[in-house]
Amino acid sequence: MSAAALRFGVQLSLKPPQEQFDLVRRIEALGFDAVFTGDHVSFHNPMYESLTLLATYVPITSRLRLGTAVYLLALRQPAIAAKITATLDVLSGGRFIFGVGVGGENPKEFEVCGVPHAERGARVSEAIDVVRTLWRDSPATFKGRFTQFSGVSLDPKPVQKPGPPIWIGGRSDAALARAGRHGDGWVSYVVQPERYGQSLDKIRAAAAAAGRTLDRFAAAHLAFVTVGRDWESAKAVWAAALTKRYAQDFEPLARKYGIIGTPEQCAEQLERFRAAGCNYVILNPIGPAAEEREQVERLAAEVVPKLRG
């Protein structure tokens, strides 16, 4: 993995459509590299369907990469996911990043999708292969545990060859092994820099065992960030917003996992991830929805320049 320049994406919370579109246009104008969206079919809070949302960004942007961080692939039939993502890549001129994950913290969404919760890891591992096969081959044939077909073509193919990069999300050893064996990248969240570096070592080991080299591997981190006038006031905003989002108490997690405080403090905390091997930071501004735009502006003006140097 080369120590490439740090890239920066932004992940946004849900807003009314026009507000969402205006902010995405602004993110492109500010020079960020990508905009990402999370994914749930059913969640504690309202969420747009992720690939539909990214499709709405296609005509209002020209340069931004459009990514999922991360798409719960086990909840969807893999051929349908391959079809939608290939379409999104074509419509965007090859700007799509397919971050996928196993999920599972919300068993009800597996129930509503008719997918056994216990099979989610195995389904994701196989579905990644199904999606890549359908993106690449004409006609395509596959024989797996959950999916079998022969002589089928899904067209048009993605613009990116052999397909959009697939980033694997997660913190478990199974997710890290999956990233090493199958991933074009990895995206973490709620980890500390030390564990991030150790996780990259596990990914490299899994890749080496599979005979893969990770020379163009995206080592990404989804950073929950709140820029404020000082650490304490930013922490209060961060903890309150994430406690509401995930319906669990985030107050004790702030010191461990938050990118919190003055622009200097936030940059310093992100620098530790770069030192651990991270080359792609996905900034998720945490706080009241009404302040998200101001957070994006401050990140662009006061935090990112300190790390791009």
User: Total structural domains in the chain?
Assistant: 1
Tell whether 115 is covered by a domain.
yes
Looking at the domain assignment, is residue 127 inside a domain? yes
Q: What are 37's strand-pairing partners?
A: 68
Where in the sequence is the domain holding 150, given as residue range(s)? Answer: 34-164
- In the chain, the N- to C-terminal Cα span, in Å, equals 20
Helix 193-209 and helix 173-182, axial crossing angle in degrees, nearest 10:
50
HSE-up of 130 (CA within 13 Å, CB side)? 26
Q: How far is CA 266 from CA 193, 200, 226, 249, 258, in A?
A: 13, 22, 8, 22, 9
187 part of a folded domain: no
pTM for the whole thing?
A: 0.96
> Tokens standing for 57?
């960004």
Task: Identify whether 288 is part of a domain.
Answer: no
Considering only CA atoms, which of 222, 225, 231 is closest in space to residue 291? 225
Assigned domain for 72 exists: yes
Q: What is the pLDDT along the chain (309 residues), one digit of tens a residue?
A: 444 589 999 999 999 999 999 999 999 999 999 999 999 999 988 999 999 999 999 999 999 999 999 999 999 999 999 999 999 999 999 999 999 999 988 999 999 999 999 999 999 999 999 999 999 999 999 999 999 999 999 999 999 999 999 999 999 999 999 999 999 999 999 999 999 999 999 999 999 999 999 989 999 999 999 999 999 999 999 999 999 988 899 999 999 999 999 999 999 999 999 999 999 999 999 999 999 999 999 999 999 999 986
Contact by Cβ (8 Å): 10, 35 = yes
Q: What is the pLDDT of residue 4?
A: 56
Look at residue 200 and tell me if it is in a domain.
no
**CATH number assigned to the domain comprising residue 65:** 3.20.20.30
Beta pairing class for 148-152 and 140-143? antiparallel
> Residue 2's pLDDT is what?
42
Query: Is 8 among the domain residues?
Result: no
Residue 304 counted as domain residue:
no
Q: Which residues, in sequence order, are bridge partners of residue 93?
A: none
Residues contacting residue 145 through CB under 8 Å, at least 6 positions apart: 122, 126
